[in-house]
């Protein structure tokens, strides 16, 4: 395991622990990118369960496209390759339908596995290419949601029930005495709709607990509720102390007073919290706002490489900022830690300044923690070194040779990241302040991480004379 430690502290559980300190003044193991956790509401799908899926898997086949599943869509559009999806809520009821036999009596009942008011219909028919097989096709609206094939003929009602044992979305129960009956064909039979779960503040906390075991770069929500944003901040800080390195992205709607939004952003004062200030934008004719834009930026931040900056990165698909800010507004907002959208010279929408909400660093932080790129770099370095160190726990002796092995392995990570263009320098040494003893050893990792050139100052010197 990995986690943080306070200088001078000794831990009970074996593992590698990290501590962050500052060197110098302000301003004078494997790579993981593209993983975004999304907490949302849906009208179908697993409830209070984290589901890991790739961007190509098609979240629609699991959760549909209802309610706030668009947060998943936006994260994928931003570049997320892996989604840790968690549908929040409690209660609700499942949709149901009964299918009849050829005597027009109820032969079996079908119930959706998950609560929600999604509109389902079902068609039962003979397969066109094989008369010995029937198909049971479930539709969500006009889209095919799932297809089950089963043997036709005597006992086909029982055959359908058995075939549906492997269904991801529905379960079937045979009525008494219907083991050998034939099923009546059905065309677009309508389910009795279920009801959606309720979603309370505690349901978001439950969802956070579900995604906690997973590694992810960023996390976003489907809400602009500031109370839940504060819960999210508490969550990412808690899992940070346990060694999970993630950033959260939130936003409020444009209807909230601008000054209030800026105040909310500054109040986070946290390198792990990113606040999109002017989230009201047009995306090719469709207005999005609040959590939707935050999800898009969460995908971008999560997917960004640690050797590049998102400052002046174009947000693909966005065509117009519907809340234009003055230069004065933007300067004030960025001083307060807001992530602001603006236009470039080609009228494309880009991130004006890739900063998080950290305004006043702690005594153990330098100003680098205010930059999204440098947080990405530092989190990646910590993650890779933690993994490397964890792999050595219990496998090397706590003597000079063993500690030299640890230094060599960790130094290898630093050297790799320097070659990848993420670090200027990295030097690993045994701690001078704490002497190795028993089963504990301390190491210092002196790091200079890279930044991007984001301020270029040009001085033009003109002269009246035309002579060289």
pLDDT, one tens digit for every residue, the chain (468 residues) = 567 777 777 775 566 777 766 666 555 466 889 999 999 999 999 999 999 999 998 899 899 999 999 999 999 999 999 999 999 999 999 999 999 999 999 999 999 999 999 999 999 999 988 989 999 999 998 889 999 999 999 999 999 999 999 999 999 999 999 999 999 999 999 999 999 999 999 999 999 999 999 999 999 999 999 999 999 999 999 999 998 999 999 999 999 999 999 999 999 999 999 999 999 999 989 999 999 999 999 999 999 999 999 999 999 999 999 998 999 999 999 999 999 999 999 999 999 999 999 999 999 999 999 999 999 999 999 999 999 999 999 999 999 999 999 999 999 999 999 999 999 999 999 999 999 999 999 999 999 999 999 988 888 889 999 987
pTM over 0.85: yes
Pair (79, 202) in one structural domain: yes
Task: Check if the beta carbon of residue 53 is closer than 8 Å to that of residue 77.
Answer: no
Task: Check if the beta carbon of residue 231 is closer than 8 Å to that of residue 205.
Answer: yes
Query: Residue 58 class from Cβ within 10 Å (0-12 exposed, 13-18 middle, 19+ buried)?
Result: exposed
β-strands 143-151, 247-251 pairing: unpaired
Pair (123, 261) in one structural domain: no
Find, among 135, 100, 143, the residue nearest to 119 by Cα: 143
Find, among 7, 5, 25, the residue nearest to 15 by Cα: 5
Range of the structural domain that residue 178 is part of: 96-190
Q: Is 369 a domain residue?
A: yes
CA 287 to CA 144: how far, in whole Å?
28
Print burial letters for 326-345: b (CB count within 10 Å at least 16), e (below 16): eeebbeebbebbbbbbbeee
Query: Residue 130 class from Cβ within 10 Å (0-12 exposed, 13-18 middle, 19+ buried)?
Result: exposed
Q: How many domains does the chain have?
A: 3
Q: Is 220 a domain residue?
A: yes
Instruction: Report the CATH number that the domain containing residue 109 is assigned in CATH.
Output: 2.60.40.4290
Q: Is 236 a domain residue?
A: yes
User: How many other CB atoms are there within 10 angstroms of residue 9's CB atom?
Assistant: 9
pLDDT reported for residue 17: 75
pLDDT reported for residue 30: 66
Q: Is 118 a domain residue?
A: yes
Pair (398, 412) in one structural domain: yes
Q: Is 460 a domain residue?
A: no
Pair (115, 175) in one structural domain: yes
Residue 371, beta-bridge partner list: 355
Pair (107, 145) in one structural domain: yes
CA count, 13 A, side-chain hemisphere, 177: 2
- Tell me which of 308, 329, 351 is where a domain ends: 351
Helix count (H) and strand count (E) of the chain?
Answer: 10, 23
Q: Is 303 a domain residue?
A: yes
Pair (318, 426) in one structural domain: no
- Tell me which of 321, 351, 381 is where a domain ends: 351
């Amino acid at each position: 395991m990995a986690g943080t430690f306070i200088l001078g502290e000794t831990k009970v559980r074996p593992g590698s622990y990290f501590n962050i300190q500052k060197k110098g003044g302000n301003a004078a193991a494997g790579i993981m990118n593209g993983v975004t956790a999304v907490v949302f509401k849906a009208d179908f799908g697993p409830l209070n369960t984290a589901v890991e899926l790739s961007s190509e898997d098609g979240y629609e086949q699991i959760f549909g496209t209802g309610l706030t599943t668009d947060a998943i869509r936006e994260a994928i559009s931003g570049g997320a390759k892996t989604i840790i999806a968690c549908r929040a809520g409690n209660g609700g009821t499942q949709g149901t339908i009964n299918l009849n036999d050829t005597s027009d009596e109820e032969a079996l009942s079908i119930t959706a596995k998950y609560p929600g008011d999604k509109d389902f219909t079902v068609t039962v028919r003979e397969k066109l290419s094989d008369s010995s097989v029937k198909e049971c096709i479930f539709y969500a609206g006009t889209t095919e949601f799932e297809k089950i094939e089963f043997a036709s003929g005597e006992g086909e009602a029982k055959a359908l029930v058995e075939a549906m044992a492997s269904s991801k979305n529905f379960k079937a129960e045979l009525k008494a005495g219907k083991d050998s009956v034939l099923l009546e064909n059905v065309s677009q039979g309508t389910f009795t709709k279920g009801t959606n779960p309720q979603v309370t503040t505690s349901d978001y906390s439950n969802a956070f607990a579900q995604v906690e075991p997973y590694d992810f770069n960023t996390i976003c929500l489907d809400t602009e509720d500031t109370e839940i944003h504060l819960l999210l901040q508490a969550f990412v800080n808690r899992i940070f102390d346990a060694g999970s390195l993630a950033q959260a992205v939130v936003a409020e709607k444009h209807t909230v007073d601008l000054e209030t939004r800026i105040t909310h952003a500054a109040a986070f004062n946290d390198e792990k919290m990113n606040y999109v200030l002017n989230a009201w934008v047009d995306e090719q004719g469709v207005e999005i706002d609040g959590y939707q834009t935050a999800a898009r930026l969460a995908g971008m931040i999560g997917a960004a490489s640690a050797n590049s900056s998102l400052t002046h990165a174009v947000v693909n698909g966005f065509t117009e900022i519907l809340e234009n800010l003055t230069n004065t507004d933007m300067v004030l907002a960025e001083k307060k830690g807001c992530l602001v959208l603006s236009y470039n010279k080609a009228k494309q929408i880009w991130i004006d300044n890739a900063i998080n909400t950290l305004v006043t660093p702690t005594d153990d932080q330098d100003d680098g923690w205010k930059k999204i790129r440098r947080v990405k770099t530092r989190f990646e370095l910590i993650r890779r070194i933690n993994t490397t160190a964890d792999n050595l726990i219990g496998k090397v002796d706590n003597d000079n040779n063993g500690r030299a092995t640890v230094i060599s392995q960790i130094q290898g990570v630093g050297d790799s990241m320097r070659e990848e263009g993420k670090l200027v320098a990295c030097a690993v040494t045994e701690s001078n302040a704490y002497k190795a003893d028993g089963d504990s050893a301390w190491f210092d990792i002196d790091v200079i991480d890279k930044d991007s050139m984001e301020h270029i100052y040009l001085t033009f010197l003109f002269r009246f004379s035309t002579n060289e």
